[in-house]
Amino acid sequence: MEFAYLQTPMGIAELEGDENGLAAIRVLDEEKPIGIVPEVLEDAVYQFQEYFEGKRENFDLKLNPSGTDFQKKVWQALKEVPFGKTLSYMELSKRLGDPKAIRAVAAANGKNPLWIVIPCHRIIGSNGDLVGYAGGLHRKKWLLEHESPSPQQSLF
């Protein structure tokens, strides 16, 4: 696997992938040197930069996340939540055909290895509260505000 590091408004992003696709994206709390970007990750870094500059709403990348079949099904459903929109865990469970699977759906959402590209930050509590984000609720809030159609107003 190859690694690239990118400064974002929320910290250093670590992108991991190879010729089979992007496998993981993590936001780090510690500093990492921003160095040469491996060729297999150049497009991912470029698209991430565009996203943070407000020039990109969707990613067009080859993805290769590791997970169970159920997790991959949930992650695929997450990719269908449009930029600037949110969905509750219950609504996501219903879209997947089983409202009783809400806890399993939430767990799969939390295991998403592709931060932002698979937009797990767009999933909120049924009452509209920000809940459950592996990167921290402050980052979830930032992402939702970044994607808000009315950036001058805070969602939360």
For the CA atoms of 35, 41, 42, 44, what is the dihedral angle to 10 degrees?
Answer: -120
12/6 Cα distance (integer angstroms): 6
Closest CA to 12 of 135, 108, 144: 135
129 is known as an active-site residue: no
Q: Among the options 6, 40, 105, 120, which is catalytic?
A: 120
Residue 46: which H helix or E strand, with range? helix 42-52
62/87 Cα distance (integer angstroms): 25
92/96 Cα distance (integer angstroms): 6
As given in the structure block, the two tokens for residue 38 are: 């491996």
Q: What does DSSP say about strands 87-88 and 11-18: parallel, antiparallel, or unpaired?
A: unpaired
Residue in the structure block whose two tokens are 């921290």: 136
Q: Are 27 and 139 in contact (CB under 8 A)?
A: yes
Annotated catalytic sites, by residue?
Answer: 120
